[in-house]
Amino acid sequence: MSTASFAARNDAASETGSGASTVPVDRSRKRLWWRVALPYAAAAGIIILLARGITVKQWTGVLWGVKPWWFLLASVASVSVWFVGDTLSFSRLFSAFHVKTTFREMLPVNAAQYFLQTVNHVAGGTALAFFMRRRKGVPIVSAGCSMIFLGLIDFLVMGVMGLLAALLVPTSLIASGWYYAVAVIAGIGLFAWFWRRGRPSTVILRWIYELPAFSSFRRARASHYLRLMLLRALIFTGEGLTLYVQLRSFGVHVPLVQVLAFEPVELFLTALPVTPAGLGIAQAVLVLGFHSYGSRATLLALSLAISTMGIMLRLPLGAGAGGAFAREFKGTPDAHRNLAVS
């Protein structure tokens, strides 16, 4: 049974006053509550652990030395770089592998996705996949696999940037762990080779290869990899520059080359879908990564300010796109029937 038809059946039961649907709905709400609460609880636990031993005097001392306008400008620039870059990336991705999708069409759905990611990473991705099904007729699973393809491109770019950082900046954090970057590059390269070599001879591998959902992997050419990698690399570099300004605004003087060399590590760890918007993990990464350049109180305050500002700047995106996005999925009865087929 499809998601849409299941939802329609629940709606019909509630209208007729049937009590049979009450228990499943209550259980669903409880599961949803736990899915939201647990990631935030994990993030809070990490932050509390990092904050142990920091006094109120240390906190206030950090705040007195902050340059708020520089921090605010850098934070707005950071969210803007990600939002514009992601919107352009998704439009290029779906245009290349499914159907032409303009930058303007992706704006409201990416804004809604950014808002939903403050609650749960999966919710944001699901919203984008539903948009492609509703507006463009792309099967939900195929859209999701294309987003996984872009995620692999991200990890590949992080691996390449990490390896370059290890080679060019021997004193960087990743220099001693260069083999992790090589492993990521080799693993994704082998994965790409599987899809580029053609139809496998083994029955199980051939079945996987021919699954309709993996159409984007089969269609991907070297030009697709290179274009998307270049676009994502520009986004990651822009994020490194904004992080450098944010560090300076809190009086943490890290050389720019060290910040850019550290950026692949931060991006990789905070991209893991463990906590909302990387909250908690981002704090641990910055505190441990730059401990040689600033006190734990300063780095923790900075990382909390970055995460808080990032969430606050995402909220207006959701408010602005919420109405348009809701109308997109409200549709007509015919539209709902079409959505149920897939």
C-alpha dihedral sign at 189, 145, 276, 34: negative
Can you tell me the distance from the alpha carbon of 200 to that of 180, in angstroms, rounded to the nearest whole number? 29
| CB count in 10 Å sphere of residue 27 | 10
Give me the tens of pLDDT residue by residue for the chain, a chain 342 residues long.
444 443 444 444 444 444 444 445 555 555 556 666 777 788 888 888 888 888 888 888 888 888 999 999 999 999 999 999 999 999 999 999 999 999 988 888 888 787 776 665 666 677 788 888 887 888 889 999 999 999 999 999 999 999 999 999 888 878 888 888 999 999 999 999 999 888 888 899 899 999 999 999 999 999 999 999 999 999 999 999 999 999 999 999 999 999 999 988 888 888 777 776 678 888 899 998 898 898 889 999 999 999 888 888 887 776 655 555 556 555 544 444 333 333
Residue 107, H or E segment: helix 103-117
Taking the whole predicted model, whether its pTM rises above 0.85 is answered as no
- The residue among 92, 78, 99 whose CA lies nearest residue 230 is 92
How does DSSP classify residue 18?
-
Give the count of alpha carbons within 13 A of 199, CB side only: 4
SS3 category, 297:
helix
Q: CA 140, CA 44: separation in Å to the nearest integer?
A: 33
Q: Where are the domains positioned within the chain?
A: 52-340
